[in-house]
Structure formats: C-alpha cells, structure tokens
Amino acid sequence: MKRSAVSLMDRFGAVHVARALQRSRAVVLTYHGVLNGAADYDYLNHNFIAAESFDAQMRYICRHYRPIALRELVAAYREGRTPPDRSVVVTFDDGFANNFSVAFPILQRHSVPFTVFVTTGLVDTPGAMLWTERAKRSLFFHPERSVSLELDGATRILDLSSAAARADASKAVLQRLKRMQPAARNQALDDLERVCGARPVQERERERYEFLTWSQVRELASAGVEIGSHTVTHPHLPQLSEAELDSELRDSKAELEDELGRPCRHLAYPYGDEDDRVRSAARRAGYEGAFAVDPGRGRSDRFAVPRHAVYRHDTSAGFRLRTSPLLRRLR
C-alpha cells in the first residue's frame, strides 16, 4: 500500500475504527533488528528499524494496545480461549546481536515482553552471515553495471546500473536460490561470489550484521525474554527432505534447551514459509506453536500463527495501520 493511501486512511480515522473493532484478535509483529545510527543502503537494511522509530513504536503500542508474551498467546490458542483484548506480541527473527544491545534496553524501558527466535548455527560464530545476506551484498556491491549469471540452467544478464536495479536483481536471484536444495544453493552462492565478489562487513556495519553470543542469549533468557527456535541454518523448510527437516527443527530446539536449561516451546519458520509437511514436523519435534508471516491467514492453526513484518521505512501512520488486524493485508 502506497504511503499516500496510508496517510489518507489514517487521516480519516481508519486506525480508530480498527482499534475499536480489535477485541479478541491479537497482532504478532516481526522485527529483525534495531540500529542506533543511520544505516547506509536502504535495500540492504530495510528489515532494520532505527532505534528512535522503534522507541516510538513501543510507546504507541503501550499507549493503545496490550503487549503480552508470546507464550500467553499460544496458551490461549491451545486452550481454545481468546487472547486479551487488543493484544500485541513483539518478536525478533534470526538472532542479531543488536536485539540485545539496542532493542533490549528500549523494550525493558517500556516493559514490553518479547521473543527472540534464534538461528542456532549462527550464534557465537564470528563472521557468520545468513546466506541471503551474502547473496544480496555480493550483487549490490558488484562494481560493474551488469552481470551475467548462470541461473536455473540458463544464462541471465542482470541490470546493475542503479541502486534500484541492483535491488531488483538481488530479489530475483534470492527467489531462485531460496527454492534450491541446500547443497545446490550453497554451490550457486559460491559461484555468485566468485563472479561478483564477496563484500566483507565493514567495522561501521558490525552492529547490523553481528549475531548474538550464547552469553547474550542466556542473559536475555535470565531477564525473562523468551528464546525460540529459528532452525539451525535458516533454510527454506518446504525444500528439505524429511530427515533434513526433522534435523533442523529438533537440533535447534535441543541446543537451545541445553544452553538455557529450559524448554524451547516455539518456532518461527524461516521466511515464514511452511506447508502441511513442515507443520507436522514442528509438532513431531515437540513445539507448542509455530509462526508464519502470512497476514491473511486466520488463527485456526497454532502451528501457522500469522505475523506482520515491520520495516525500516514504515511511516508512523503505516505502523498504526499495520498493528490493526482489520488491515492484515497491508503491505
């Protein structure tokens, strides 16, 4: 939805109507990271909220809604109860270190409970990077104005003549890589970096890219933050074999339980993607609930609870509308 439409809806009171209608319907928000300073390259950082904006969003939630813990929401769904009126749940995906260093103090100040879904294979691993980040950076920083790549058995020439073109090329490549089997995807990613180069993380980018340490994860858990699983390696789960799927879900759960000495009850699917087979695997692995990202889905299945992603350039009006279940399909 364009910003002009969002502003118009906000001006004519859509937020107030939506808030009045929200009773037994909870909103689950998805963040990835919060950054203190200005972030370069909008496309590479669109999932990372500025600290000042995040603080304002938490103030708004506390003023107009009821922040609740994720476990409270899942318990309500499991027991067939409606969640408290105007409930909002705050979650983070992936396990970036700025969840601890930047977001945590803000959430503590506002007394907002939250959950961090951790990709266990990236914890305490210096220089670790999601494969999606490697692909995006390789294409975005390639010095040429175009590049020829072998994709899906065909040679494709991608336009890199502007920042917008680089973003479009990156999105197209990511969609193809995501649907490959892990071994084939890793080979394709190596080939991509061989052609375009592997851009190392700069010192000023560390707050954006570093992942949590186990010490930080334990400190969050000791402070009451719920720690959930985001798998071991952040794969596209529907593409995995049965054995690979079970390993990703069970091994991440087991490692979190070993490190924290408490049950890991909840799972967030990487990319929010799931199907009947993935949901069945989540049940087999012993989770009590799991989270997708489709804002159009209802809450009939606690193993596919919908969430709304919050982006860096959401306006204040856009965020107010995004928090309303009445407008779940807001983009």
> CA-CA distance, 322 to 90, in Å (whole number)?
13
| CATH value of 3-126+209-327 in 1.20.1740.10, 3.40.50.1100, 3.20.20.370, 1.10.3330.10 | 3.20.20.370
pTM (2 decimals)? 0.90
Please, which pLDDT band fits residue 29 given cuts at 50, 70 and 90? very high
> CA-CA distance, 13 to 191, in Å (whole number)?
51
What is the predicted pLDDT for the residue at 4? 53
CB contact at 8 A, 209 and 250: no
Among the residue ranges 17-26, 31-40, 89-98, 226-235, the one predicted with the least confidence is 17-26
Rounded percentage of the chain residues whose pLDDT exceeds 90: 75
Please, which pLDDT band fits residue 297 given cuts at 50, 70 and 90? low
What is the predicted pLDDT for the residue at 295? 57
> CA-CA distance, 279 to 294, in Å (whole number)?
14
Q: Which residue reads 């959950």 in tokens?
A: 115
Question: Among 278, 178, 185, which Cα is nearest to 236's?
Answer: 178
Pairing of strands 114-118, 27-31: unpaired
Residue type at position 256: L
Q: How many CB atoms lie within 10 A of CB 25?
A: 17
Return the sign of the alpha-carbon dihedral for residues 37, 51, 226, 278. Answer: negative
201-256 residue pLDDT tens? 999 899 999 999 999 999 999 999 999 999 999 999 999 999 999 999 999 999 99
Residue predicted with more confidence, 263 or 38: 263
Whether residue 264 has pLDDT greater than 60: yes
20 forms beta bridges with: none
Please, which pLDDT band fits residue 15 given cuts at 50, 70 and 90? very low
Token pair listed for 177: 């890589």
Q: What is the mean pLDDT of the chain?
A: 89
Q: Report domain extents, the chain.
A: 3-126+209-327, 131-196
Whether residue 149 has pLDDT greater than 70: yes
Of the chain, the end-to-end C-alpha distance in Å amounts to: 5
HEC states along the chain? CCHHHHHHHHHCCHHHHHHHHCCCCCEEEEECEEECCCCCCCHHHCCEEEHHHHHHHHHHHHHHCEECCHHHHHHHHHCCCCCCCCEEEEEEEECECHHHHHHHHHHHHHCCCEEEEECHHHCCCCCCCCHHHHHHHHHHCCCCCEEEEEECCEEEEEECCCHHHHHHHHHHHHHHHHCCCHHHHHHHHHHHHHHHCCCCCCHHHHHHHCECCHHHHHHHHHCCCEEEECCCCCCCHHHCCHHHHHHHHHHHHHHHHHHHCCCCCEEECHHHCCCHHHHHHHHHCCCCEEECCCCCCCCCCCCCECCEECCCCCCHHHHHHHCCHHHCCCC
Mean pLDDT computed over 29-55: 90
153-172 residue pLDDT tens? 788 899 999 999 999 999 99
> CA-CA distance, 156 to 110, in Å (whole number)?
49
